[in-house]
C-alpha cells in the first residue's frame, strides 16, 4: 500500500489499447498478451483493455480477454470500456460470463451507455431498420446486469429440451459474483449518481465534464464523492 498524505493506494493497475500494425494484427495482439503476463510478473493488481471499433486495436474485449485468462493466473482483467450501444445485453452477458469462469473470477466489466462512436458508419451494419431511434440509454446497462444475475426464465414449470435432458432455462455459464464487478464509465455528475444508485462501481478517467471547475483533481473528487 502506498500512502501520500491522507490518500492511500492499495491497488495498482494499467490500461492498454492493444494497438497493432494494420497489416499484422497478430503481432500487436500477441505483444499485448505478453504485456499482461509481464504486468502480472511485476506484481500489478489489474490489467484493463480498451474496446474500440474501426481502429487497429482490440475490437472485442471478451474475445481478447478469453485468451488472456489462459496466459495469466493472478492479475485481475478488465474492460475499460465496452460501449454497450452496439452490443446485445444478453449475448454480451454470455460472453463475459464465459470469460469470468475461464479466469476463475478475475474479470471486471466496464461498460458505457450513450450513442457510441462512429454510429453513422457502424450502426447500419449492426441494426436492422432505422437505427436513429434505437435505445442507447442506461436501460441497456440495467438489462445487461439483470442477465448476469442468472435468474431462471419463465416459471418453475418452464423447461427446455437439451441433450442433457429437460433443463430450467437460464443464462449459461452463470458466473457467481460477476454482478458485483460491473464498472460504469461515467464522466458527469449525472452518470456518477446513476452508477452509485444502481450499485455499480465507477470508472472515471481524463474525459470528464468539469461542471463548474477547470481543476481536474476537484472534478474527479466530486464524481467520486457523488
Structural domain contains residue 45 = yes
pLDDT tens figures, 43-80: 999 999 999 999 999 999 999 999 999 999 999 999 99
pLDDT tens figures, 107-160: 999 999 999 999 999 999 999 999 999 999 999 999 999 999 999 999 999 999
d(CA 222, CA 226): 6
pLDDT at 144: 98
> What whole-number percentage of the chain has pLDDT above 70?
98
pLDDT at 82: 97
d(CA 60, CA 82): 9
Cβ-based neighbours of 210, under 8 Å, separated by 6 or more = 219
Residue 5 has pLDDT above 80, yes or no: no
Residue 127, domain extent: 2-185
Residue pair 88/95 in contact by the 8 Å Cβ criterion: no
Structural domain contains residue 19 = yes
Structural domain contains residue 202 = no
Structural domain contains residue 190 = no
Q: Are strands 7-9 and 2-4 parallel, antiparallel or unpaired?
A: antiparallel
Structural domain contains residue 222 = no
Q: For helices 61-69 and 89-102, what crossing angle results, to 10°? A: 10
The structure's pTM equals 0.93
Residue 6 has pLDDT above 80, yes or no: no
Average pLDDT value for residue range 33-48: 98
d(CA 147, CA 151): 7
Residue pair 88/23 in contact by the 8 Å Cβ criterion: no
pLDDT at 127: 94
CATH number, domain at 33? 3.20.20.30
Structural domain contains residue 203 = no
Structural domain contains residue 205 = no
7 vs 1, 4, 12, 219, 221, CA distance in Å? 10, 5, 14, 17, 12
pLDDT band at 7 (very low <50, low <70, confident <90, very high): confident
Structural domain contains residue 196 = no
pLDDT at 205: 82
Lowest mean pLDDT across 128-132, 166-170, 200-204, 207-211: 207-211
Split into its structural domains, the chain has a count of 1
Residue 166 has pLDDT above 60, yes or no: yes
Amino acid at each position: 500500500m502506498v500512502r501520500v498524505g491522507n490518500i492511500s493506494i492499495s491497488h495498482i493497475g494499467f490500461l492498454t489499447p492493444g494497438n497493432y500494425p494494420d497489416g499484422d494484427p497478430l503481432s500487436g495482439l500477441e505483444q499485448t498478451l505478453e504485456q499482461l503476463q509481464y504486468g502480472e510478473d511485476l506484481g500489478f493488481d489489474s490489467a484493463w483493455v480498451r474496446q474500440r471499433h474501426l481502429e487497429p486495436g482490440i475490437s472485442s474485449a471478451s474475445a481478447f480477454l478469453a485468451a488472456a485468462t489462459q496466459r495469466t493466473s493472478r492479475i485481475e482483467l478488465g474492460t475499460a470500456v465496452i460501449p454497450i450501444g452496439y452490443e446485445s445485453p444478453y449475448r454480451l452477458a454470455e460472453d463475459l460470463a464465459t470469460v469470468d469462469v475461464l479466469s476463475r473470477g478475475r474479470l471486471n466489466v466496464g461498460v458505457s451507455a450513450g450513442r457510441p462512436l462512429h454510429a453513422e458508419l457502424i450502426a447500419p451494419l449492426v441494426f436492422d431498420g432505422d437505427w436513429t431511434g434505437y435505445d442507447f440509454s442506461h436501460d441497456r446497462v440495467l438489462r445487461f446486469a439483470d442477465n448476469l444475475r442468472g435468474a431462471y426464465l419463465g416459471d418453475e414449470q418452464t423447461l427446455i429440451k437439451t441433450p442433457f435432458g429437460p433443463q430450467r432455462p437460464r443464462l449459461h455459464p452463470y458466473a457467481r459474483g460477476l454482478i458485483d464487478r460491473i464498472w460504469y464509465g461515467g464522466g458527469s455528475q449525472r452518470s456518477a449518481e446513476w452508477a452509485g444508485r444502481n450499485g455499480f462501481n465507477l470508472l472515471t478517467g481524463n474525459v470528464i465534464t468539469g461542471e463548474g471547475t477547470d481543476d481536474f483533481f476537484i472534478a474527479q473528487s466530486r464524481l467520486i464523492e457523488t
